[in-house]
Amino acid sequence: MTDDLTELTAVQLLDGYRKGEFSPVEATRAALERAERIQPEVNAFVRLTADEALARARLSEERWRLGEPSGLVDGVPVTVKDILLQRGTPTLRGSRTISEQGRWDEDAPSVARLREHGAVFLGRTTTPEFGWKGVTDSPLTGITRNPHDPSRTAGGSSGGAAAAVALGAGPLALGTDGGGSVRIPAAFCGIFGLKPTYGRVPLYPPSAFGTLSHVGPMTRDAADAALLLDVIAAPDSRDWSALGPPPGSFALGLSGGVRGLRFAYSPSLGGQVAVRPAVAAAVRRAVERLASLGAYVEEADPDFAEPVDAFHTLWFSGAARVVQHLGPHQRELLDPGLREICGLGARLSALDYLAAVDVRMELGRRMGHFHESHDLLVTPTLPITAFEAGAEVPKGSAHRRWTGWTPFTYPFNLTQQPAATVPVGADGDGLPVGLQIVAARHRDDLVLRAAHALYEAGVTSAGS
């Protein structure tokens, strides 16, 4: 086992604690040192909470010494995106319009479950303002950069979380995903990210982006994500739309392999998406490996046209609701791109919104029918690799908004399906490529199982 504790997964850390090879305090100190070292270059953190982390690690160390760990992730370093409430620390959401003053005395459901299971909270990770876009920069914290090339974006909106995991500043991270915000940065940074079925992980306070918004694990591999999901998928009475308890342990369901599973491979959503050749080649190689592992694979495209207009209606109106309470002076403090889409959203009518809901329901019907004949859908996570930092779209793009280069991610927020990204190689510049795995609603277990099979087969790679 490596001497560098920051290179270990959560599963490996827990095994080491159990065997007495090292302690939660040692692992926490190593993760904090790594976080402090990477912060000047990649800017993954809003703040580090070293004193709290070490205090929780010492308590965990004593529990492990007595052979009485308090939960599934006792002593494991974790980061929390600065969108989710965490008791004792401000949640500023990347915005200069939120004051640090306040009681900050409540945990979001996922954070509360981690606290109950003994996790060690290292710090809060960066986000664009209110998580509004697919890259991570904000007026409050500046630009978050890619671990593989700091001149490139880490993606977003959970960019700080992805960079932290990729560079060893804690093996587990909580992200949020309203249109790809877990999967986009996970793909750009070369880690694993899962958007669970909507409601599988309770969310409170409710998001202004409504039922597009999911909370999900960001980790080094699928086994760690399954472990984290076992912790955070517990019901919480504050979220009236949350699902009931999961049918079983996600971690225990990893080992089934892919033999006999029916995969649809859609390289370009039926020709709707121009995919960069290096991305397409890496994804195709991984799909071929799935077939060699016994999966039934056929090229098949889901039956839908790009639903970007409906998504924009829901997203822009949600953004307008987020800032509705702000006065003119505070609005001047907002990210200019956010201010622009809020203006567009404020002009939409209730009928516009309901028309977008109709598009969403039809898309959900089509995907439900698609999964009657296919257990899983595989696509590229993104058609490109990471582009220059500080821009919402790549240089020379014909699109104005981030949705123009994320056509594989946001449709599955509309349908609420579980979707994960797995690193499957790199382009010629050493930038990671992600493969997306999608299942029918409530089949998070199948997504994790298929992803785990790729890890077990040695297919996964974060690039050089």
Q: Which residues are catalytic?
A: 81, 157, 181
Cβ–Cβ under 8 Å, residues 75 and 118: yes
DSSP string, 268-295: STTTTS---HHHHHHHHHHHHHHHHTT-
Q: What DSSP state is assigned to residue 5?
A: G
Q: How many CB atoms are located within 10 Å of the residue 308 CB? A: 17
Distance CA 174, CA 124 (A): 10
- Indicate the angle between helix axes 24-42 and 50-65, nearest 10 degrees: 160
- C-alpha distances out from residue 390 to 137, 138, 341, Å: 6, 9, 18
Across the strands, what pairs with 137? 143
Can you give the length of the chain in residues? 464
Query: How would you classify residue 442: left for phi > 0, otherwise alpha for psi between -120 and 50, otherwise beta?
Result: left
In the chain, the amino acid numbered 103 is: R
